[in-house]
Structure 1
């Protein structure tokens, strides 16, 4: 992929629905880092919209569904995709539990215990990212790293205040 195509096949802005309240400092940190990392490096292309980006993404939850509202740099709407959250429920629930253990371990556990918990956390995060890629197939083309960062934001949407 050449540089021009790469610049057009990416996100330049990510917004989370305004109704999402603030949460704990750890979760707010995860949110800020995920958005920063996602904007810095991503591969994002609505299917059948070749080379017409860059794009903006607004993520929200509506009636227990995940909404991806994609627009162009000038705000022109491109597409909206709505995904059921059912395939993510177990993964997100398990991810929350292991994240709580991880944050507690950082304060009280040995480096080897922290590393073991973190390996489990990364494994669940990878599983959620792959599920997201599978659910977006045929709708939005994203690479695995982009899916990982978006999955973090999906978790943040659940992690309301």
Structure 2
């Protein structure tokens, strides 16, 4: 084996490792993953139950993930105790951040009222910053995870008291 072949095999091993991590971090409805190493391209295709995705031409040298990759995520996290308490949960594996950058004010603090869809945190996944939005209106009761902590799919991030109607939300 030449050094060029060994280098190519090493790159392929790295790409496969990253693909496996991406698949494990993805929603279980992931249907296909295609990776192109020349000029770097990553394509994700979700099953029809998730969102309609236009079929993408598979680039040369792409890796395809099987339709069922056997990774069942945990049950959706639920807040224990009060009926009006709701946990906003991690939708992927990543690093949880409460602010847009180090030293900046957090997106939300305990006592803040939030609207459904309002950004309340960030999850960093493979160097990509993904906004975390409140999935319902309420008042922030507790930030459940320290800033900069690695979280798993389904981890409760922020507790909301949903009995409080957020400002600007129809009641």
Higher-Rg member (1/2): 2
- The structure whose residues are more often strand, as a share, is 2
- The structure whose residues are more often helix, as a share, is 1
- Whether these two folds match at TM > 0.5 is no
TM-score by length of 2: 0.25
TM-score by length of 1: 0.26
Higher relative contact order (CA 8 A, sep 6+): 1
